[in-house]
Structure 1
Amino acid sequence: MILYQDAALVVVNKPAGLSSEAGLPARLRELWGQPDAYVGIVHRLDTGVSGLMVCARTPKAAAALTRQITQSQEAYAVLDGRAAPAQNTLPAPVFTKQYRAVLAGAPDETLPEHGILRDYLFKDSRKGRVFPVSRPRKGVREAVLEYRITASNGTLSLADITLHTGRTHQIRVQFASRRHPLWGDGKYGSHFKGTIALQSARLCFLHPETGEPMEFALEKPDTAPWNV
């Protein structure tokens, strides 16, 4: 589970079924044998999703990583046209998250082989679901991602995805709203039963203390449904 660690941070391959906010810190403290260890969660994965996460081991590192995430989201907003550049906007994101997913169906008019998806999403906390809506209003946030279909057998497709924004259930909802739900995601329309086929596959950031570029990547699982 632990891929890298030092005094400032730890990079993990979170298993599906383990929550980011409670389960992961508890598991790390257990592995370290340090029940009071600081674990700063600076970004999240849905409980049913597996893959790469970086956690801070000091408050200072948590603040530095959070600042990278905020600055990178501002850079993405400029790159995809949601905002004009400000004086301190980074020329390119430094904290990037890339995913891979198995989608229902093959590329079509609603989902070409590659592109950028833009939606307004509303999170209904009472229902535990996120819904696409037609226009901005209170409680609605814009969601943007870019993707590329890398393989398809007509029934399922494999996609590489880069998040520009970090909304709840974003990837799951944006593809499901185009009638291409993720394999195993029954909440958003998949007819296949199993663990959601979504993996946090690549993570890049700057070390919060040294500024050194850090990059981590996972291989694609070699079991169904990933062998499209």
Structure 2
Amino acid sequence: MEAKHISSPVYEDGQIIVLDKPAGMDSEHQLPAALRELWGNPEAFVGLVHRLDAGVSGLMVCAKTSDAAAALSRQVQAGTFRKEYRAVIAGGPDEALPGTGQLRDYLFKDSRAGRVYPVKRLRKGVREAVLNYRILDTRDGEQGPLSLVEIQLETGRTHQIRVQFASRRHPLWGDGKYGSRYKGAIALQSARLAFSHPETGQPLVFTLPAPPHSPFPLF
């Protein structure tokens, strides 16, 4: 497995670290290894309370103690841990995807195929996925219009954002797995995190500017 590295943390104290995960880094294996390398401690505790797909960049918070991990996980379960994303999708507002709204689907994860599929009803292995979105801008691209979208997750399912938009014929730019005609890094970024500090309870909010790689500069 190719070694991956992270830049300086966005925020760090004795309980948590907030970082800008680069695209191409796996959250479950490469990220903990990179943090242990950063700290110079191969045995350091790394608590993952949420994840990003390997091809997605942006904000993540990891716990540095088991108590902090448990406290953050409780916020995730309670819905008080807020995650916002920005993405570039194919097309503009239409009947399947109005300018603003909520997407609600049942998703089935096929682990052997490494894909997630929308299905009609709940059954074994199916979980409900919910997000809210707002289309901020639409502009012409080389192969048709592209839209910049702001997304707030209500649930955190594997490939959720990618599948929910692709199933409405608006795949994310660069996401060839789910139908994009464009080649490049997936245009999806974890742009904002809001949660309470696991030890002090202080409200914390972290935001990132749009990444410099295409197609975000179009906007």
Same fold (TM over 0.5): yes
Identity of aligned residues (%): 67
1:224 to 201, 214, 218: 214
2:166 aligned with 1:180, yes or no?
no
After superposition, what is the alpha-carbon deviation per residue over 1:139-195, rounded to whole angstroms, capped at 9, x for unaligned? 111110000000101410000000001111000000000000000000000011111
Distance (whole Å) between structure 2 residues aligned to residue 141 and residue 36 of structure 1: 34
Considering only aligned residues, what root-mean-square deviation do their CA atoms show, in Å?
Answer: 0.9
Residue 220 of structure 1 and its aligned partner are, at CA, apart by 1.3
Classify the secondary structure of the residue corresponding to 1:115: strand
Structure 2: state its 5+ residue gaps: 1-6
Residue 137 of structure 1 and its aligned partner are, at CA, apart by 1.4
Classify the secondary structure of the residue corresponding to 1:173: helix
2:1 aligned with 1:15, yes or no?
no
2:99 aligned with 1:109, yes or no?
no
2:202 aligned with 1:212, yes or no?
yes
Aligned to 2:119: 133
1:171 to 152, 155, 161: 161
Aligned to 2:68: 61
Aligned to 1:148: 134
Residue 221 of structure 1 and its aligned partner are, at CA, apart by 2.4
Distance (whole Å) between structure 2 residues aligned to residue 188 and residue 143 of structure 1: 17
Distance (whole Å) between structure 2 residues aligned to residue 69 and residue 221 of structure 1: 26
Aligned to 1:118: 104
Distance (whole Å) between structure 2 residues aligned to residue 203 and residue 193 of structure 1: 28
Distance (whole Å) between structure 2 residues aligned to residue 22 and residue 138 of structure 1: 27
After superposition, what is the alpha-carbon deviation per residue over 1:18-46, rounded to whole angstroms, capped at 9, x for unaligned? 11111111111111111111111110000
Aligned to 1:86: none
1:49 to 44, 56, 63: 56
Residue 134 of structure 1 and its aligned partner are, at CA, apart by 1.0
Distance (whole Å) between structure 2 residues aligned to residue 214 and residue 164 of structure 1: 19
Aligned to 1:79: none
Aligned to 2:151: 161
**Amino acid of the structure 2 residue aligned with 1:16:** A
Residue 223 of structure 1 and its aligned partner are, at CA, apart by 3.9
2:35 to 19, 28, 31: 28
Distance (whole Å) between structure 2 residues aligned to residue 6 and residue 179 of structure 1: 43
Classify the secondary structure of the residue corresponding to 1:136: coil
Residue 224 of structure 1 and its aligned partner are, at CA, apart by 2.1
TM score, norm. by length of structure 1: 0.89
Aligned to 2:13: 6
Classify the secondary structure of the residue corresponding to 1:153: strand
2:184 aligned with 1:194, yes or no?
yes
Aligned to 2:81: 95
Aligned to 1:89: none
